[in-house]
DNA sequence: GTTGCCATGTAAACTGTTACATGATTTC
DNA sequence: GAAATCATGTAACAGTTTACATGGCAAC
């Protein structure tokens, strides 16, 4: 079921799940919100929409009613929803932590909407646990190798460590917020 | 002097400036250190080295002496050093902050070595100042739009804000460290 | 009747991924 | 002489950027 390796495809699916949209709507959305780091260029979005449709993850219907030029409005199919959920549920690896932090955040952002709060909380716990293992090993590596680095190189490396530490802190307070909300609802 | 838009090209220049190396050396380095998020695949590195050479930013000399298979060892030319410095000195824009954080860190990592501590400190000050302007506007945007977001989407957005706050904190302590070192040397 | 916005699309160039191919030399 | 390691490279494919092209309608 390996859809498409491009983050853009999943971002589009997630946005289309909320409500069917045209390519132009999506472009405007990306231009307005600077979400993730997706470009609003037609040369990226229209081909990506074509790919989704070829894989039958979306289906387009042409609107002429609106008076303006014809719009192609895309809806996510059942197959598309399944592929999207499979993406959200992928196991979290250390490699994701190191090389695909953006993708993890994108997945999490859509999780509440699509899988519910419990799954979102479980994801945060997994994320935190993985960081708890990774950060010490990264620090050990830094200590071992940074001795003869120029100062700015060492500081840049430390920045990387601190980013992960900020991520861990964020995950913990986020878990607490989910639990708090759950407590209030009962 | 617009070299090459690929970060990899600049990363290679920076590493070659420290000491001339072969493609294989560079691959091993990327494999061992997971620096930035550069791949150690030959399909990325050898073509990138070819590009640098075509632009006369590096020059290769073939070694046969080592006994093994011939190595192509790359040296940065004067032109290459100039292009590299121009890259390091590019003005820092808000767009860099939002979309090219990795590139800024890579530039900073090489700064001490190539431009000296004073320029590196100046860069940190610019970075901090730009963040001081950007973070409040990002928070205002978050407050305005997050009201009707699902919780996980709002949290993902907050993560983005907190990453920038961690960056600001990092920049301030890094400036202090440069100043401290300068004080000690005098 | 020209400017501007809505809305779609395409073509060329560049970069990176994956996977394969090759040649030489040391080690067992 | 088989396997491992050193070292270089290429071919096919996917995705993005940039820039251009087009067409209809609205407003002035």
Q: What is the pLDDT of residues B71-103, one digit of tens each?
A: 899 999 999 999 999 999 999 999 999 999 999
Name which residue leads in pLDDT, A42 or B3.
A42
Joined together, the tokens standing for residue B138 give 């990002």
> Pick from A49, A65, A67: which is nearest to A57 by CA?
A49
Contacts of A150 in chain B (CB under 8 A): 112-113
Give the model confidence (pLDDT) of B5-59 as tens digits. Answer: 799 999 999 999 999 999 999 999 999 987 888 999 999 999 999 999 999 999 9
Residue nearest to nucleotide C12 (CA to C1'): A43
Q: How many CA atoms lie within 13 A of A129 on its CB side?
A: 9
Given an 8 Å threshold on Cβ–Cβ distance, is B152 in contact with A37? no
Residue A74 has phi, psi (to 5 degrees) of: -100, 135
Does residue A94 contact residue A130 with C-beta atoms inside 8 Å?
yes
Q: How far is A153 from chain B (nearest CA, A)?
A: 4
Q: What is the DSSP string of B135-159?
A: HHHHHHHHHHHGGGS-HHHHHHHHH
Does the pTM surpass 0.95? The reply is no
Beta bridge partners of residue B75, listed in sequence order: B59
**Chain pair A-B, CB pairs under 8 angstroms:** 90
pLDDT tens per residue across all 186 residues of chain A = 333 579 999 999 999 999 999 999 999 999 988 788 899 999 999 999 999 999 999 999 987 665 566 889 999 999 999 999 999 999 999 999 999 999 999 999 999 999 999 999 999 999 999 999 999 999 999 999 999 899 999 999 999 999 999 999 999 999 999 999 988 887
Cα–Cα distance for residue pair B121/B114, rounded to 1 Å: 13
Given an 8 Å threshold on Cβ–Cβ distance, is B109 in contact with A158? no
Joined together, the tokens standing for residue A157 give 């490396």
Joined together, the tokens standing for residue B11 give 């990363």
Supply the pLDDT for residue A139: 96
Q: Which of A34, A151, A155 lies closest to B98 in CB terms?
A: A34
Supply the pLDDT for residue A1: 31
B6 CA to centre of own chain: 11
CA–C1' gap, B103 and D9, in angstroms:
28
DSSP state of B74: E
Does residue B179 contact residue B121 with C-beta atoms inside 8 Å?
yes
A138-143: long-range pairs with CB below 8 Å, 24+: A138/A164
Supply the pLDDT for residue B2: 35
A150 touches strand C (CB under 7 A): no
A29 touches strand C (CB under 7 A): no
CA–C1' gap, A41 and D22, in angstroms:
17
Does residue A4 contact residue A50 with C-beta atoms inside 8 Å?
no
3-state secondary structure of B186: coil
Handedness of CA B36, B37, B38, B40 (dihedral sign): positive
Given an 8 Å threshold on Cβ–Cβ distance, is B109 in contact with A152? yes
């Amino acid at each position: 079921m390996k859809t498409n390796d491009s983050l853009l495809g999943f971002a589009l699916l997630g946005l289309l799940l909320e409500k069917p949209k045209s390519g132009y709507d999506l472009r405007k959305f990306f231009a307005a919100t600077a979400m993730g780091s997706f470009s609003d260029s037609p040369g990226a979005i229209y081909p990506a929409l074509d790919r989704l449709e070829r894989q039958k993850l979306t289906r387009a219907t042409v609107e002429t009613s609106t008076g303006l030029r014809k719009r192609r409005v895309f809806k996510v199919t059942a197959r598309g929803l399944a592929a999207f959920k499979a993406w959200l549920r992928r196991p979290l690896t250390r490699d994701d932590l190191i090389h695909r932090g953006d993708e993890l955040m994108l997945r999490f952002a859509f999780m509440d909407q699509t899988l519910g709060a419990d799954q979102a909380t479980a994801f945060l716990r997994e994320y935190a646990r993985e960081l708890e293992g990774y950060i010490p090993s990264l620090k050990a590596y830094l200590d071992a190798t940074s001795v003869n680095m120029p100062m700015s190189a060492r500081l840049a490396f430390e920045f990387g460590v601190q980013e992960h530490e900020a991520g861990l802190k964020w995950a913990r307070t986020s878990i607490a917020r989910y639990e708090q909300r759950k407590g209030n609802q009962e």
